[in-house]
């Protein structure tokens, strides 16, 4: 991609970040994607400590026989600009959410604050800038913590967690907290991220270098919503003829091997979901500094907030070895780069089970047409082995 193209894209992106109401799709995620595929699904709602109302869906098998012996709960945590629908985008035999349900797991689908399947805030509206005053730090310590607590309370079981991308950042940060990790039996992390200083996608690096995150915040844009009126027009422009859409996705995530191009229109009915500018800024801080730390407010405000000039780090060596981990990562992933994954592995005290797929990009772990054989079957074997070991204890 040439420079003028990138520059134009940048200017366009600036306009995308306009404040707009989150468009409400009628009905919940259950009604949209899950029940129509024949799976029993119920909507749940819970409240975080800081007042956000999160939507969760509970999905079980199509087969009444499998349903009779409900397995352990699995909580699915989606990535950035996505929501719980991400796990149900392909057919029932291809999508992780459906596959886990049909295999007898008690599937819980998480949706973080600001996404279309969450339900706002007890007192703030999406039009308030305070509503968008958070980053993945709050998603980890409030949203994920609350979702885990909620599922644990209802099922009275320790749960499995599956995260993709930002969902793995949230998981790794949350698992450093003893009161959260004690409710989790094991976790499977797809495209695991804690360090981000080796990302390879030129487009993102350029945005980082041009400090687009800081510009957006300085201009007073707090919500990133590609489905606002202007956002939609720009998405249409960028995705003209769909081929460009694919190029854009590759430019941001790395080359995906096994994407089904004829489903792009369908994916775009749901994706992308909104997030906050502060979250983008926090992610870009990680790329610039190479640290896995809390949000950096600048020295003086850090002193007031954290009583130290630099933000405290999330020390992943604190994750207890009693938590079984499984990780899947790809050679073409532009965001969860192999060097950064190795950095994460070096810091962890435990030795996760690893699956490396040379040809996989960032989105393949979610949407590859052959992800079941490549990724999910192995993940399920891992969960079953953990379940077996612990039932003998």
Q: What are the residues binding ligand NAG (CB under 6 A)? A: 260, 262-263, 369
Residue 261: CB minimum distance to ligand NAG, A: 8
Judged by CB, which is closer to ligand NAG: 277, or 368? 368
What single DSSP character describes residue 312? P
Q: Is 333 in the active site?
A: yes
Q: Which two tokens stand for residue 310?
A: 């630099």
Radius of gyration of the CA atoms of the chain, in A = 20
Task: Burial-class residue 134 by CB neighbours within 10 Å (0-12, 13-18, 19+).
Answer: buried
Active-site annotation holder among 95, 135, 165, 277: 165
Q: Which is nearer to ligand NAG, 67 or 263 (CB)?
A: 263
Q: Which is nearer to ligand NAG, 49 or 269 (CB)?
A: 269
Residue from 106, 213, 296, 333 carrying the catalytic annotation: 333
In the complex, the smallest distance separating the C-beta of residue 368 from ligand NAG, rounded to whole angstroms, is: 10
Q: How far is the CB of 335 from ligand NAG (least distance, A)?
A: 24
Does 50 participate in catalysis according to the annotation? no
Residues 6 or more apart in contact with residue 317 via CB below 8 angstroms: 347, 348, 349
Q: How far is CA 247 from the centre of its chain?
A: 21
Tell me how far apart the alpha carbons of residues 86 and 109 are, in angstroms, rounded to a whole number. Answer: 10
- Between 260 and 387, name the residue whose CB sits nearer to ligand NAG: 260
As a dihedral over the C-alpha atoms of residue 381, residue 141, residue 77, residue 314, rounded to 10 degrees, the angle is -60
The residue number whose beta carbon is nearest to ligand NAG equals: 260
Q: Distances from the Cα of 227 to the Cαs of 54, 211, 220, 230, 359, in angstroms?
A: 20, 23, 18, 8, 31
Shortest Cβ 50–ligand NAG spacing (Å): 39
d(CA 278, CA 267): 25
> Is 362 labeled as catalytic in the residue annotation?
yes
CB-nearer residue toward ligand NAG: 64 or 262: 262
- Which residues have C-beta within 8 Å of that of residue 152, sequence separation ≥ 6? 73, 158, 159, 183
Question: Catalytic: which of 228, 277, 362, 364?
Answer: 362
Q: Closest CB to ligand NAG among 143 and 374?
A: 374
To the nearest whole angstrom, how small is the minimum distance from the Cβ of residue 331 to ligand NAG?
22
Q: Map residue 358 onto helix, strand or coil.
A: coil
Are 132 and 277 in contact by the 8 Å Cβ rule? The answer is yes
Q: How far is the CB of 365 from ligand NAG (least distance, A)?
A: 16
The residues carrying an active-site annotation are 165, 333, 362
């Amino acid at each position: 991609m040439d420079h003028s193209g990138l520059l134009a894209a940048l200017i366009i992106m600036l306009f995308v970040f306009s404040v707009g109401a989150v468009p409400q799709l009628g009905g919940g995620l259950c009604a949209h994607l899950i029940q129509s595929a024949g799976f029993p699904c119920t909507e749940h709602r819970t409240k975080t400590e800081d007042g956000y109302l999160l939507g969760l869906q509970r999905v079980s098998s199509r087969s009444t026989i499998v349903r009779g012996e409900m397995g352990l709960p699995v909580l699915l945590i989606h990535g950035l600009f996505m929501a719980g629908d991400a796990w149900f985008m392909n057919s029932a035999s291809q999508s992780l959410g459906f596959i886990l349900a049909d295999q007898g797991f008690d599937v819980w689908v998480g949706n973080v604050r600001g996404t279309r399947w969450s339900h706002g805030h007890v007192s703030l509206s999406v039009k308030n800038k305070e509503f968008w005053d958070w980053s993945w730090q709050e998603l980890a310590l409030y949203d994920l913590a609350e979702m885990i607590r909620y599922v644990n309370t209802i099922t009275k079981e320790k749960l499995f967690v599956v995260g993709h991308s930002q969902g793995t950042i949230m998981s790794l940060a949350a698992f450093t907290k003893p009161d959260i990790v004690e409710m989790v039996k094991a976790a499977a992390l797809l495209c695991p991220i804690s360090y981000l200083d080796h990302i390879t996608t030129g487009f993102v690096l350029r945005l980082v270098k041009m400090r687009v995150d800081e510009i957006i915040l300085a201009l007073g844009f707090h919500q990133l919503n590609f489905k606002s009126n202007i956002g939609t027009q720009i998405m249409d422009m960028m995705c003209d003829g769909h081929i460009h859409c694919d190029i854009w996705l590759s430019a941001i995530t790395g080359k995906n091997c096994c994407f089904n191009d004829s489903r792009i229109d369908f994916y775009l009915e749901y994706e992308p979901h909104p997030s906050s500018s502060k979250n983008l800024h926090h992610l870009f801080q990680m790329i610039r500094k190479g640290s896995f730390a809390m949000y950096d407010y600048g020295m003086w405000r850090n002193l007031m907030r954290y009583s130290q000039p630099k933000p405290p780090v999330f020390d992943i060596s604190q994750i207890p070895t009693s938590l079984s981990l499984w990780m899947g990562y790809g050679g073409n992933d532009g965001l969860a780069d192999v060097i950064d994954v190795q950095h994460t592995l070096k810091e962890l005290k435990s030795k996760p089970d690893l699956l490396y797929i040379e040809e996989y990009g960032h989105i393949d772990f979610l949407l590859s047409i052959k992800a079941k054989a490549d990724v999910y079957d192995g993940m399920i074997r891992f969960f079953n082995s953990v379940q077996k070991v612990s039932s003998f204890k």
